[in-house]
Amino acid sequence: MKVGGIDTSRIEAMVAQLKAAGARMEANGLDGISSGTQAPGKLDFADALKASLDQVNRAQSSSQQLGEKFALGDDKVSLSDVMISMQKANISFQTTIQVRNKLISAYHDIMNMQI
C-alpha cells in the first residue's frame, strides 16, 4: 500500500527487522550476563567493537553508493530508498559516537578513582 508516495510495506518490514534485531541482542546480552564466563565461539569486546564499526562503515558506504546512483539518474533507485539509507547510516553513526562518549567517560571515571 502506498501512502503519499511512501510504500508502507517497506516501513513495516524495517520495523520488523529492528524488532528482530533487538530481540536477538537482548537474548545474547542476557546469555552473556548469566553465564559469567566467555563460552567458546563468543566474541570478545574488541571483536564486537570492530564488527560494529565495520557494520557502520558498510551502512555509510552503501548509503553513499545509493546516493550516487540516484544522482546519476538510475531509475531503479528511488529517493525514499536513498533517504532511508542515509538515515540508517546517520543513526548508526550517532549511536557509535554515543558509545564512544560513554567509553571515554568510563575511562576517565576509572582513571580518577583513588586506590
Q: How far apart are CA 79 and CA 43, in angstroms?
A: 37
Residue-by-residue pLDDT tens, the chain, 115 positions: 554 566 677 777 777 777 777 777 767 654 444 444 555 567 688 888 888 999 999 999 999 999 999 999 988 999 999 999 999 999 999 999 999 999 999 999 999 988 8
What pLDDT score was predicted for residue 28?
Answer: 67
**Helices first, then strands: H and E counts in the chain:** 3, 2
What is the predicted pLDDT for the residue at 31? 45
Is residue 60 within 8 Å of residue 90, measured between CB atoms?
no
Residue 53: the pLDDT is 92
Q: What is the pLDDT of residue 1?
A: 52
Does pTM surpass 0.85?
no
Contacts of 2 (CB under 8 A, 6+ apart): 8
Distance, in Å, from the CA atom of 98 to the CA atom of 104, rounded to the nearest integer, reads 10
The torsion region of residue 41 among left (phi > 0), alpha (psi -120 to 50) and beta comes to left
Please report the pLDDT score of residue 41 as a whole number: 65
